[in-house]
Amino acid sequence: MHRCSYLPLVTESVREVFVKSGVAFTGHDADIWYEYRGVPLKWHYPIGLLHDLLTSQYRGSSPLPWHIIIHFTNFPTDKLIRINAANIIDTPHDSFMSMIKEADYIRNGSIKKLMSLSKQDQTNLWQGLSSHDYDKFWNVNARLVTNDNTIPKYIPLRVYLLDQPVIQEPVAPVDDNLDCEYTLRDILGRMLPEIFPPSLDAPTTEGADNTRKSDASEAVAILHGIVIPIETPILWLSQNCSYPDNFLHIVICR
C-alpha cells in the first residue's frame, strides 16, 4: 500500500484476493474495514499517517510489512464513518477534496486557487493520486502550492498524539516582521508546551521557570515515517513534505 493513498482505494483489490482464496463474502466493499491492535483504522486518514500514529509507540517491534486485520462484517459505526455504498470511491474523493479546499484557504485566506481549476483539473488531481501517477497529480497540485515567491499566510498543519484529539491551530511560517522563519520546535513549543518546553538557552520572561529540561519528554515528531529534526523550518517542511492533501500530518511519539 502507498503511504499517501487511502484504504478505500485498495479495498477492491483486497476483497478480490480474499474471495479468490475462498472467503465467502456477499456483502459490499463499503462493509469492509481494517483494524490494527484493536483500533479501527480511519479510512479518511492517509495510510502513512495511520501507520505512523499507530506503530510509532511500538518502534522496534512493528517492522514492515504492516500487519493489519481485515474485517468483512460488524462495521463499527460508533468509531468509523460509514462510506456511501452507492459509490465507494465518491466518499473518499469528497473527503480528500475537502482537505484540499481547507489547505488552500489556510495558505491563502481564500479558495480562489482551487476554484480556478477546471473540472478536468480537479478530476486529474484525484486520478493522479488514486492511480499513483506522480506527474498527473503534480501538474495540477503545483498550481495550488506555488505562491509566486510570496509567503503563505498560514501553514496547513495537524498534530496527532495517540488517543487524543487532533490539534490544529493557525501556524504562521515567519514572524510579523517577515525576517525570522519559525522552526518545528517553535510551532510545537506553542502547541504542546508541556511536551516541547523552551530550551534552557531560549529567552524567557522575568520570573519564568527555567528549570525544565528542553528534552524532558524525549518526544519526537514523525512525518512520512521519519523522525524530523526539530530545528527544521516549518515553511520548508510544508513545501517539501506535505501529504497530497497539502497538509503536514505530524505524529508526536513520546
Q: What is the pLDDT of residues 196-247, one digit of tens each?
A: 987 655 444 344 444 444 444 589 999 999 999 999 999 999 999 999 999 9
**CA pair distance 242, 250, nearest whole angstrom:** 10
Strands 157-160 and 248-253: parallel
pLDDT tens-digit readout, 91-121: 999 999 999 999 999 999 999 999 999 999 9
Edge-to-edge strands, sheet with 39-40: 39-40, 33-36, 69-71
Task: Specify the pLDDT at position 3.
Answer: 92
**pTM to 2 decimal places:** 0.89
Q: Which residues pair with 34 in a beta bridge?
A: 70
Give residues with Cβ within 8 angstroms of 19, minimum separation 6: 25
Question: Are 27 and 33 within 8 A, CB to CB?
Answer: no
pLDDT tens-digit readout, 123-167: 999 999 999 999 999 999 999 998 777 899 999 999 999 999 999
Whether pLDDT at 61 is above 50: yes
Q: At 208, is the secondary structure helix, strand, or coil?
A: coil
**C-alpha torsion 190→179→228→164, nearest 10:** 20
Task: Specify the pLDDT at position 189.
Answer: 95
Which residues in the chain are classed under CATH 3.10.20.90?
Answer: 157-200+216-253
Which CATH number describes the domain made up of 157-200+216-253?
A: 3.10.20.90
Phi-psi region of 109 (alpha: psi -120 to 50; beta: other; left: phi over 0): left
**CA pair distance 12, 206, nearest whole angstrom:** 61
Task: Specify the pLDDT at position 200.
Answer: 52
Q: Which residue has the cell 465507494?
A: 88
Which residues in the chain are classed under CATH 1.10.246.190?
Answer: 89-149
Concatenated DSSP letters of 127-194? HHHHTT-HHHHHHHHHHHH--TTPPPSS--EEEE-TTS--B-----SB-TTS--BPBHHHHHHHH-TT
Q: Which residues pair with 252 in a beta bridge?
A: 221
Task: Specify the pLDDT at position 22.
Answer: 86
Which residues in the chain are classed under CATH 3.10.20.620?
Answer: 7-71
Superfamily of chain region 89-149: Autophagy protein Apg5, helix rich domain (1.10.246.190)
Task: Specify the pLDDT at position 194.
Answer: 93
Which CATH number describes the domain made up of 7-71?
A: 3.10.20.620
Task: Specify the pLDDT at position 170.
Answer: 93
For range 181-204, the mean pLDDT: 82
Q: At 36, is the secondary structure helix, strand, or coil?
A: strand
